[in-house]
Every structure is written in C-alpha cells, then in structure tokens.
Amino acid sequence: MDEPRNRAALNGESRLMMEMLAPLSTDSALSIGGCAGSRLVPLVDQGINLTAIDPSPYMLDLLGETYGNRIELYRSSLDDLPFEDNSFNHACLITTLEFVDHPEKVLAEACRVAKDRLFIGFLNRYAIKGVQRRVSGMFRKTLFNRATFFSVWELKKYVKAVVGDVPVAWRTIGQLPDASGFFKDKIEQSRVIQRFPFGAFAGMVVTLVPHFKTRPLALRYNAKGPTEIVPG
C-alpha cells in the first residue's frame, strides 16, 4: 500500500470538506458512520465541537485512539440517531452511505439532526478508480464487494426526495488517481477541474432548512353572558 499517496488523498478529501462546509470555530458537527478518521482532523484543529457516531465498537475505538477526549463518541444505529432535531450545526456523512442497508433513512436522519449544512463525501460511481474497485471485486473479496457506489446525479435525487428543493453544491477530486506530485495537486485544486463529475471522491454540501416542532396552543376564553333575553 502506498502510504504517501493515501495520505495525500485523505488530505485532499479533508480540504474539500472544509472548503465546502465552511464551518465556524463556534459551530458543532456530527460525523455519522464511515470512521472518517484523519479526515476529521481539520474540524478538531479548528476547535469545532465534534461528535462521532457509529454502530461498530471497533470503529469507535479507532477514533478514540486518534482523538482521545477531543471528540464525543456514541454507539448507535445510523437510521435512528439518538439526538433531537437541529442538535448540530452540521452533519457529515463521509463514505457512509455506500455501506448501509437503507441510505435514504440514514440521509433523512442526518438532515433531521443538522440545522445548517450537511456534507456528504462519497465514492464516485463514474470515476476511473470506482470502476477499478468494482472490477477487482469480481475476482477477489474486497471491502468494496458490498458497497453501493453513487453518482452525483443519483445522490442529488436522494437529497431531493428527503428534503425537497434545497440548495445543493458538489465537487469532485481524484481526477488523476494514478498521478502524483506538484502538478497533480495544482490540477486537483482547480475549481474548474473539480466541476468534472468523474473524480474518485465527490463532495456534496446540502443547505438545510431547520426543523421546528410545533404543538397547538390553547387560548383561554371567558365567555360573556347574554346581555339581553333571547326569545324562545
């Protein structure tokens, strides 16, 4: 495994998330599943109040070893999050939807608990690297055998079905998966190139409308007696 190349890819994904999400240091954020690992470093370093949730004790142990008490950890299923509506400014789904049984339910829960923005980082269905991953899964058992890959357009349809017509922005990186070096980094950081829908990793930001719980309010009313006699 080429560690420097993997590290460069993770750094690029983190940078894309921070640029698109644009969180404030006073914000709170929830990382949902996927064991985002080192991708969360910029959020922690910025001082954001970060919480992570995952159904796997192993994944949570990894996060605990990496961040210690700098983030709060919860174990729970991802399609029924144990948080109130609008509990966090932002929610992050980073390579999570690919590996869950009901991605639409997980997406709906993420939109419920976040009040400002949702960042979705996903493995692009139409990337060269994505095709390579699917082909390799035909011949040997890999992590991606049970993964569901999404395209930008497919995920936009999911978002619209869950929250309606809200603002959605997307970019991709990893256009040149086998290249490395200074020129590759320059290409990858180009906003024009990031609008190509074929990068290995895609980032999508959804601007959310906060949820408000309402309950009927009873109005006290004092009935006045009749001022005159009513016939009959």
Q: Dihedral through CA 48, CA 44, CA 94, CA 162, nearest 10?
A: -10
Measured between alpha carbons, how far apart are the two ends of the chain, in Å?
96
Three-state secondary structure string covering 151-186: CHHHHHHHHHHHHCCCCEEEEEECCCCCCCCHHHHH
User: Model confidence at 45, in pLDDT bands (50, 70, 90)?
Assistant: very high
Would you state the pLDDT for residue 4? 61
With both helix axes pointing from N to C terminus, report the angle between 103-113 and 152-163 in degrees, rounded to the nearest 10. 60
- Is residue 81 predicted with pLDDT exceeding 80? yes
C-alpha closest to that of 151 among 106, 196, 114: 196
Q: What is the average per-residue pLDDT within 3-26? A: 87
Tokens of 105: 């339910």
137 vs 23, more confident: 23
Length of the chain as a residue count = 232
Burial 90-119 (b: 16+ CB within 10 A, else e): bbbbbbbbbbbeebeebbbbbbbbbbbbbb
Would you state the pLDDT for residue 130? 58
Would you state the pLDDT for residue 98? 92
φ, ψ of residue 188 to 5 degrees: the values are -65, -30
Would you state the pLDDT for residue 139? 58
Q: What is the average per-residue pLDDT within 109-122? A: 97
How do 28-32 and 114-123 pair as beta strands? unpaired
Would you state the pLDDT for residue 1? 43
φ, ψ of residue 73 to 5 degrees: the values are -120, 135
97: left (phi over 0), alpha (psi -120 to 50) or beta: alpha
How do 49-54 and 201-207 pair as beta strands? unpaired
What domains lie within the chain, and their CATH numbers?
3-207 (3.40.50.150)
User: Percent of the chain at pLDDT above 70?
Assistant: 76
